[in-house]
Chain A
Amino acid sequence: MTQLGHYDSIIIGAGHNGLVCAAYLARAGQRVLLLEASDSVGGLASSREFHPGFKAPVAHSVNHFSKSIAVELGLKAHGLVIDVGSVPCVGLSPEGKHVFLNGAELRGVSDDEREAYARYSRQLQRFARALEPFWLKTIPRIGPNKLGDMLTFGHMGLNLRRLGKADLREFLRVFSLPMRDLMDENFDSDILKSLLSWDGLIGSKMAPRSPNNAVLTLLYRMVGTTMSGGVGALVSALEAAATAAGAEIRTDARVQRIRVSGSASGLRATGVELGNGEVFEADWVVSSADPQTTFLSLIGVENLEIDFTNRIKRLRCKGYVAKLHLALNSSPTFGGIEDSGGRMIIAPDLDSIEFAFDDAKYGRWSEHPVMEITLPSVHDASLAPPDQHVLSAHVMFVPYDLQGGWNEATRDALSERIIDTIERYAPGIRQTVVGRELLTPADLEHAFGVTGGHWHHTEMALDQMLMMRPTYEAAQYATPIPGLYLCGAGCHPGGDLTGAPGHNAAHEILK
């Protein structure tokens, strides 16, 4: 007996995880309302016009979206082609001795290094595959568990055991290793080391010398599938899948507050209130907003426990990646690169990453920024006028709290520094720049409502992973407030365009 304005589930935030969650819930027959604060869906993956005629999404590549989610949601039917092969990746060398990596194929290094890479890559692939099933599972609490939960642990143990003695021993050693150690143990080439460690570091507050989660992040990013059409195509397909399943999507609908009612037996989330005063009721309120926003702003501390609040407050949510968009009036030429459709990494050696990190520690951006560059318009012609291009760069490490604060002058200075750096590898590119936009972590926070502008909503670190993501008592998608669930990147398994948190949350709700 659904009354008007009453839904089975309301999902806050139409980022890709919100869309995935909505699609699953709607497919299960729920009446679902998806509320998005901005004027379009996609969140950090939505394409925005930053210069007349030029658009770009913040997340600039899809290379490890969960294949099973793509298949289950029938994204193919909505125009997506999956498994289009690996995304090529180039480590740019200031001397032009670039290193090219495309799946198993490695060029630009010695035979010895190639062999070492093959060995290294095979072992990491084995680790990645052993862990893969658990990205799409709720990680149970360590505690009094139901049989199903024990089975998850059992399965996990078995998968690791199946690696064999030697691999398991090695896994237990390397899982927390700093990227630098892993690289130094295996390789000699500086460019190759930077290139291979990049995926362990980007988006996190981790430098090459930091022990912790870098290897696990790398393994997390080694599974999943690539897609045609770039980020925009994925968002459109997810939107279509959710709508087709019956989910109702409202944009320009900023949720002000999650409504919580109290009784002698405790609290319960009953719906949401929009900024304009509209109220929607639902049995389940699912938030894809980051945990700090969800709990501290939308729920309010008066409904939470004090220590729990403190654990949410202490989540490490400050992002260290800035995004630069350049509108180019012609196709850029990178010296020594023929196919500029992949990712290009500018980080001449591991120290360059480490030292860029050191500057950010003290609230400054580095004079020698390191970055990943793509040209999204190569895959999605709609992003730029014909024969013109969009360059998108993820720049590390750029602090959220800049000493002295962010303003036009500091933003311009950083943009100039980044363009100078790119110019070194793509001479003449500066002349082709007709428009630009720099999104610092503070800007990302402002534009997308993501606390700290952190890609992953909160740091992917060992203490904020698995059954501790974002923090215990809210790590199985359910929260201390009955009826309230989380489905964003702040949940297991974490950030990036994978769809996994949205998928896992939907499964918990449907349990």
Chain B
Amino acid sequence: MNKADPYAGERLLESPFHPRQAPLNLREAWSAWNGYRFAECYYDAEYEYFCVRNACATYDISPMQKYIISGGDSEAMLNRMVTRDVTKLKENRVTYVVWCNDQGRMVDDGTIFKLASDRFMLTCGSSCVAWLKMSAFGFADVSCEDVSDKIAALSFQGPTTCAVLKRMGLDGIETAKPYDIRHFPFGRGPLMVSRTGFTGDLGYELWIDPALALELWDRLYAIGADYGIQPYGEAATNMARLEAGFIMPGMEFNEALKTVHLEHDHTPFELNLGWLVDFNKPHFNGRSALLAEKQRGPKYVLTRLDIEGNKPAEHSWLYGNKRCTKEIGYVTSAMWSPAAKANIALAMIRSEHLKGEIWAFIDYAKELRQYSKIARCTVKDKPFWAPGRARATPPADF
């Protein structure tokens, strides 16, 4: 950063991959994430999306928050914080978790990487420093270190990713099962690879010292060139994750501690994440509130909808009858799914209306003229997109 720049303090930070990504961002479509400059898209969001589904693509997750939780009490501390049983997590495995406040409302979601018996990495979308500090209070032997700026990370997703990594010399990467972690030497330092991602497809996440970030990028792009490699941004990510049925903070839920209106946050049960709540593990935060919620049944349930027609139902109201007199919920995210060729949505629906008819009142525009339509919605139990290759071990090369 130029010292003489009087606006230095006002500018967004740049990720370790920025020098390579910036020239590729032909649309100069930048947004911001945790204070970092971050691509909305590089060239065309739909094109980038198809690169994820069709070949391979990289998504810069360096701005994601990363914490190393270590010490003799680190497992106990995490286990009390999150709803899943962390003691069941094996070394070099990753698990998806949510954590709640005392009322069982979701503070955030993220992943825990078990690096050693007393060493974990927690990742999440936005800063969790204060909650971690509160959660760690009272445990004698635990330290929480914010390593967000000390680890560069690239999400590498798509059907050809395994082939590229193999060609890069990551021996045995094809034997890594979903949620496995593998370590490889890379240049002067180690490279950690986890078989994780946010696209619902085959994919990996690569974790490395920021000093080696560009070297990693260059290797990946040199080899990936023959496999259709392409950087993708927030917009394509959002498409892929919606097809996979993953939730996004700020779309499907508000972080409880940052919510003004106390009804505007959510429990894991409302987000259809009840499977993450383990009542058979030792005490964890929000337990009694969640037990009560489970027994009572959640007020809303996040539901996958297949909507007739092809008009995306973003921000639509949902009704229990075609006349639209009985309001039963609202759409949180919606789009036309290029993979499923379906008009899909995630929606919050009041639980008592899940079984009945669901109609979406969709507003759309044609050449500035506003139209609306009422479309029938069908509840889908399975994700809209869940290819076998996402789980296959070893994955095929294409």
Contacts and interface: CB of A to CB of B under 8 A. Distances in A.
User: A contacts B directly in the complex (CB < 8 Å)?
Assistant: yes
A264 B279 contact: yes
16 contacts: A264-B280, A266-B283, A267-B283, A300-B138, A301-B80, A301-B139, A302-B282, A305-B102, A306-B101, A306-B134, A306-B135, A307-B134, A308-B102, A309-B134, A313-B137, A313-B138
Contacts of A266: 283, 287-288, 291
A259 to B, nearest CB: 14
A309 B81 CA distance: 12
Contacts of B135: 306
Interface string A249-276: 0000000000000101111000000000
B143 to A, nearest CB: 16
Contacts of B138: 296, 300-302, 304, 309, 313
A293 interface: no
Nearest to A265: B291
B115 interface: no
Interface in A284-324: 296, 300-310, 313
Nearest to A482: B288
A313 to B, nearest CB: 6
Contacts of A306: 80-81, 101-102, 131, 134-135, 285
A420 B344 CA distance: 83
B268 interface: no
Given A309-B138, A310-B137, 6 more contacts: A262-B283, A302-B282, A302-B283, A303-B283, A306-B131, A306-B134
Contacts of B285: 305-306
Contacts of A267: 283
A337 B135 CA distance: 57
Contact of B76 (A302, A304, A309, A310): A302
A262 B137 contact: no
The list of the 8 closest CB pairs from A to B, nearest first, reads: A301-B138, A305-B102, A307-B102, A306-B285, A310-B134, A306-B135, A302-B80, A303-B283
Contacts of B139: 301-302
B198 to A, nearest CB: 27
Interface of B: 76, 80-81, 101-102, 131, 134-135, 137-139, 279-280, 282-283, 285-288, 291
Contact of A309 (B137, B287, B291): B137
A262 B282 contact: yes
A123 to B, nearest CB: 41
Max chain B Cβ within 10 angstroms of own Cβ: one of A262, A296, A305: A305
B69 to A, nearest CB: 14
Interface in A53-102: none
Interface in A465-499: 480
Contacts of A304: 138, 283
From B76, B102, B138, B288, residue with most partner A Cβ within 10 Å: B138
Contacts of A301: 80, 137-139
Nearest to A313: B137
Of residues A265, A300, A306, which shows the largest number of chain B Cβ atoms within 10 Å of its Cβ?
Answer: A306
B99 to A, nearest CB: 9
Contacts of A264: 279-280
A396 B174 CA distance: 72
Interface string A105-121: 00000000000000000
A296 B138 CA distance: 7
Nearest to A300: B138
Contacts of A305: 102, 285-286
A310 B101 CA distance: 12
* From B76, B80, B280, residue with most partner A Cβ within 10 Å: B80
A313 B139 CA distance: 13
Interface in A3-41: none
A296 B140 CA distance: 11
B177 to A, nearest CB: 31
Contacts of A480: 288
Nearest to B135: A306
Contacts of B288: 266, 480
Interface centre among B101, B280, B283 (most CB of A within 10 A): B283
A267 B279 CA distance: 12
A480 B217 CA distance: 52
Residue of B101, B137, B282 ringed by the most chain A CB atoms within 10 A: B137
B269 to A, nearest CB: 17
Contacts of A265: 291
